[in-house]
Structure 1
Amino acid sequence: MDFARDWTWLHSEALWGMSAASMLLAAAAAMGTYLLLTLTLRWAQRRVRRHDEEGAARGGAGGLLAQLLAGTSQLLIVLASVLVGLGLLDLPDRWHGRVGQLWFLAVAVQIGLWGSRATSVAVQRYRQHHGVGATGQASASATLMSWGLRTLLWVTVLLAILSNLGVNITAFIASLGVGGVAVALALQNILGDLFASMAIAVDKPFEVGDFIVVGGVAGTVQQVGVKTTRIKALSGEQVVMGNTDLLKQTINNYRLMRERRIVFSFGIAHSTPADKAEQVSRTVAEIIRAVPQVRFDRAHLKGFGASSLDYEVVYIVEDPGFNVYMDIQQRINLQLLERLRALDVQLAVPVSRLQFNSPPAGAQQADVLAQAAVAGGAGRA
């Protein structure tokens, strides 16, 4: 009887235009929703963490999902629970719109938090994949990409929230566009180098530590910055090049070079007999095949020069080192000199011939008469 009277009192007692029973029901629903969401989140985190530990095949996705779930805001869970409870109350019409806007705000901010966490994870894995660690060269391009993606994400979330609140964002977006164009025109050179730096980070034509040749510069890449790339040249100095200018040129990158193809030429005298000229090719092949770390390709009498019989030789050095190649080439050259002397074959020496033609007899007589006439005129003077 007392219970029935209390229940009647809860329904009859009004607070802010709502019965006490409905407010208790809304509070219970909010608490139940909070407990349900919290327990579900913890269960999901434990499950993906377990999958991350069980197998490498599912470890990548599980690890990513676990880090995303770790970015869930407890404050937003509380807000969502309160909104569930408010949905059970008989609110005035003007409050229904406010509750809907709060739902949109909570969902948009949570999506923004998950997107920001995903960006951080992606940049971190990008650095680990390309060997950019705590002891290595920090990637300014990766940091800029992270900052740019987060800025774009939160600007989009903010504009969506303002639009949901009824704010006219068309003029604001137009102002941002005009301001962006003005800033881009004022900073076009800097922005060009910035985007070139991002292109280097994404396309990776070279990395820190690579030996490259670009234009007239040959050296090792020391740092790829926001605006410039620093190269330590072979002569010892540091060369600083703008990223935009760097990408406009052809870049030779020797990082993936595993072997070196060598082509060299030499010439012998024109007076060399045909049988000895043929023997020279076989001799060169024998010399190169006896050298370690070398694959012989070909040796041919290529053609007839102005003062020599020209040979072209091709071989492959199975080591990319330049000093190794030079040592091998020197060894081949010395043995070639020795073997040519044994064959009595002379290397060609450039010869220049000057030919003087005697003038005709009539021209000589005319020159003598002219000289006599000049001498006679001088005597009369």
Structure 2
Amino acid sequence: MDVQDDASGPESDSPIAFDPGEVGLPGFIAARTSAEDYGVLFALIDARIAEIEDLVEERYTRRDDLRLAALSELRTSLQRESVLAARLRELDESLAQLQSAVATDGAAADGAGLTMDPPYPLRILDELRTERTLAVQTREDARRLRRQAERRVELAERAHAAAVRERRQVRDRLVQAQSDATAAELIEAVELELEIARLRVLVTLQERESAQVGVELAKREESLAVAQLERLDVRTLVVASDIIFTQEALEERLADIREREEAAHARIQAAIAAGDAAEVTLFEARRRLAAADAEEAEYDLLQEQVLAREAELTAARKGAEYLHQAVRLAGVAGMLYERRYDVLQAQETQQWPSWLRETEALRRELAEENAFAQAELDGLRSIQLTLAGRLALPDVNPAVRVAIRERIAALEHQEEHARFMLLVKDQVRTLAARLQEQLDPLVSERTLAQRWESAKLDLQSWWGMELFVIQDHGIQVRDLVIGLSVFTLVLVLVSLVRGFLRRTVLPRLVRGSEPERRTSHALVLALIRNTNSVVVVIVAFYAAMTVSGLVQGHLRIWLGMLLIVALYIQVGLWATAGLVDFVQRERSRKELMDPSAVTAYGLMLFFLRVGIWIVVVVSILAHFDYPIAGLIGALGIGGLAVAFAVQNILSDVFHSMVILLDKPFKVGDFVVTGETAGVIASIGVKTTRIRSLSGEMVVVSNTSLLNSTLRNFKHMRERRVVFHVRVTYQTTSEQLERIPQMIEQIIRAQRLTRFDRAHFSTYGEGFLDFEVVYYVIGADYTLYMDIQQAINLAIHRQFKEAGIRFAYPTRELILHQDPPPILAAGADGIRGAGG
């Protein structure tokens, strides 16, 4: 096999790079303009298939099957192209005729080719509009088919490119095998594989050609649909310009609708009767099923009979329901016909906009109902198919088959009623669409006065429209609008009052006297900052509901009670905020003079808050006529029980009040109580905290603190100091006389001291005691220690200079022994124990 034609040669200008004759199909890529051309190609493919089949009889290989499959696929694709081409030629003829007719209708002045003379009855206009609707749907379908055909062309091109790549790979392998002098059997196998690859190229090429013909066919169908739509548009405009709908025609339509209503009523009665009979038979079937044993052979039959009776009952009840809907829709159809008559007669023009909106809403509603009904029909059809599948089983009991057929018949009966209801809905929907088509241009062409009248009617209708019902009280749009307006107005007024107080009243309060400014400022700030948003919303909501009349009866009473509670709570918030602001200002003014006032005012605020909210709660209860006396008595007894239970805590609380009122000490005072000495850190409701000299925080209950002796050094102006100086018995009289004078001089030499006295006071055990008293002018303990230290150092220095010796604990023992006597040990002699 020659493989060079795959790369270049005279065939390079063709859609493929090889001669189709290499695969036994010479001239396959020639042009195809007629059915005879396709016949030649079919014969060519059939001959090649017969040739390969003859070879297969002689020598079978798997590649022969692949060649036959490719040729068969090629023939199928070619056949599809021939069918599409024939259809394309037909469409070209139809399109030419239709375009000629459209041109003729557009130039005609006698009704666009219509066989009837004007004026035209309304029936002709409805038929034309129905045909136009179908034509629009046909055009959209044609557009979808064209897009699908274009996607098929893209897929076919990708498949063709892949087949070409595969052919090139096989060709290169064959060239390589020939150049390498491979065995003849292997070369023959590769040649067959190359033939199959070339056939695949032809198949994909043919599929691409078929897809392209399909695209052209879809385009022609779209053009044909567009031309048909244009022709229908011309005819519809001509008919709509000279339409007639007489009173007699309207009466005929209404009479026809009434006849259908009567027929539907008769069918409803028949369905109800059938339902009653089915209900009786269902009861009997269920009774027999309940009495039967599950192990019996007839149990399955009884179950099927019950299901069949249930299906009959459901079909009857559903049928009655569907017929009722059909009757209702018949009334709607009559209303639509009457409106169409009024529109054609130019009556009730102010109602046209509202009619248009109602018609649009009706169409949407019917579309939703149709979707639901269609889903129900699909479900019925699915059940019927399942039952039909059971009937096809060979081992089904004949009696069971009868029951299944009865069930299928009931389902078909139900489906018949459903389809009838769908048909009526489609008719009404079409009628609504016709009315909408009439109203759309008329509504847009109305005069200004007509628009104004229509707007007023629409506004009146909207203003009085009932939205929902609460406790048998209809809620209308005007009620909601008034309520929302009042609600918004109250919120805006509260905001404006806050702004006025903040920007105007507060700045003027600064110019008043100090007490008046503090009180008024506290009240105004309470109004501004402590007006609770929830309370404002409740007030606004109550005002809105009351003015608009949205609430009635018990709901209004409960809403009023909520308002009263909210107002009392708001008053409590204002009173609390005002007192807090006033007390805070007083505390800020006084804590500069007395830091302990912080605790006092904090406790005072606590009791004030408690008192205010007790008053608020009691006021609310009194307003609602609650028996307060019994409550107060119960609270008194309960209070006593609680008081006994927490008497220690209450004792500390009351002692804290005593501390705040009597002020035995304040925060920052240095106190000594028991073994504790330190600075008061804080005074609480139950305890007082003392920062001791050693650094830790000592917590003492207020009761224990006041029941013990407490020394407060805060107000001490001077400190009286008493200390003793002791000398030995060896001190001379002259030295003893000089000691008080020496000490006095030393003390008087110190700054911030006042000497009181210095006396030889006591003959002690082993010492002579001098008692010294002086005053330190100041309460600082460090100052006292510095002065005492200086005095001690000066005494030590001067005693040393004067030769006066300090006494220290000694004991002298005098021992008597005969003979000889022993001298007693002096101060420098023998010392007793305990020194």
CA positional deviation for 1:310: 2.8
CA contact (8 A) 1:72 1:114 kept: no
Residues 1:68 and 2:526 aligned together: no
Describe the superposition over 1:270-311 as per-residue Cα deviations: whole angstroms up to 9, x where unpaired: 56455433321111111112223x323223315232344432
Q: Give the secondary structure class of the aligned counterpart of 1:314.
A: strand
Equivalent of 2:646, from 181, 187, 195?
Answer: 187
Distance 1:261 1:223 in 2: 29
CA positional deviation for 1:339: 1.7
CA contact (8 A) 1:218 1:233 kept: yes
The aligned residue for residue 764 of structure 2 is 306
Query: Which runs of structure 2 are paired with 1:97-112 in the superposition (5 Å)?
Result: none
Equivalent of 2:614, from 139, 152, 155?
Answer: 155
The aligned residue for residue 23 of structure 2 is none
Higher helix share: 2
CA positional deviation for 1:182: 1.7
Distance 1:189 1:127 in 2: 32
The aligned residue for residue 216 of structure 1 is 675
Report the CA distance shift for 1:121/1:333 in structure 2 as closer, same or farther (over 3 A): same
Q: Give the secondary structure class of the aligned counterpart of 1:346.
A: coil
CA positional deviation for 1:216: 0.8
State, as a whole percentage, how many aligned pairs show the same letter: 34
The aligned residue for residue 353 of structure 2 is none
How many residues are matched? 288
CA contact (8 A) 2:761 2:771 kept: no
CA contact (8 A) 1:116 1:150 kept: no
Query: Which runs of structure 2 are paired with 1:115-134 in the superposition (5 Å)?
Result: 117-126=578-587, 129-130=590-591
The aligned residue for residue 50 of structure 1 is 511
Report the CA distance shift for 1:190/1:325 in structure 2 as closer, same or farther (over 3 A): same
The aligned residue for residue 635 of structure 2 is 176
Higher strand share: 1
Distance 1:271 1:355 in 2: 17
The aligned residue for residue 552 of structure 2 is none
Q: Give the secondary structure class of the aligned counterpart of 2:511.
A: helix
Relative contact order: is structure 1 or structure 2 higher (C-alpha 8 Å, sep ≥ 6)?
1
Amino acid of the residue matched to residue 312 of structure 1? E
The aligned residue for residue 326 of structure 1 is 785
Distance 1:215 1:127 in 2: 34
CA contact (8 A) 1:141 1:226 kept: no
Report the CA distance shift for 1:262/1:60 in structure 2 as closer, same or farther (over 3 A): farther
Distance 2:683 2:588 in 1: 14
Equivalent of 1:297, from 755, 775, 778?
Answer: 755
CA contact (8 A) 2:744 2:758 kept: no
The aligned residue for residue 255 of structure 1 is 714
The aligned residue for residue 775 of structure 2 is 316
Report the CA distance shift for 1:138/1:276 in structure 2 as closer, same or farther (over 3 A): closer
Report the CA distance shift for 1:237/1:119 in structure 2 as closer, same or farther (over 3 A): closer
CA positional deviation for 1:174: 0.3
CA positional deviation for 1:191: 2.7
Distance 2:646 2:514 in 1: 44
CA contact (8 A) 2:718 2:777 kept: yes
Report the CA distance shift for 1:204/1:127 in structure 2 as closer, same or farther (over 3 A): farther
Structure 1 stretches lacking a partner, 5+ long: 1-37, 52-57, 79-105, 359-381
Distance 1:314 1:119 in 2: 53
The aligned residue for residue 16 of structure 1 is none
Q: Could you tell which deviates more after superposition, 170-179 or 139-148?
A: 139-148
The aligned residue for residue 704 of structure 2 is 245
Structure 2 stretches lacking a partner, 5+ long: 1-496, 540-566, 818-835
Aligned-residue RMSD, C-alpha: 4.5
What TM-score do the two structures reach when normalised by structure 2? Answer: 0.30
What TM-score do the two structures reach when normalised by structure 1? Answer: 0.59
Report the CA distance shift for 1:164/1:355 in structure 2 as closer, same or farther (over 3 A): farther
Report the CA distance shift for 1:199/1:153 in structure 2 as closer, same or farther (over 3 A): same
Distance 1:164 1:244 in 2: 41
Describe the superposition over 1:35-93 as per-residue Cα deviations: whole angstroms up to 9, x where unpaired: xxx9xx97987764312xxxxxx4244322332355469999x9xxxxxxxxxxxxxxx
CA positional deviation for 1:112: 8.6
Distance 2:813 2:735 in 1: 30
Report the CA distance shift for 1:180/1:356 in structure 2 as closer, same or farther (over 3 A): farther
The aligned residue for residue 805 of structure 2 is 346
The aligned residue for residue 364 of structure 1 is none
Report the CA distance shift for 1:263/1:60 in structure 2 as closer, same or farther (over 3 A): farther
Describe the superposition over 1:351-376 as per-residue Cα deviations: whole angstroms up to 9, x where unpaired: 54668999xxxxxxxxxxxxxxxxxx
Distance 1:298 1:320 in 2: 18
CA contact (8 A) 2:676 2:692 kept: yes
Distance 1:303 1:144 in 2: 54
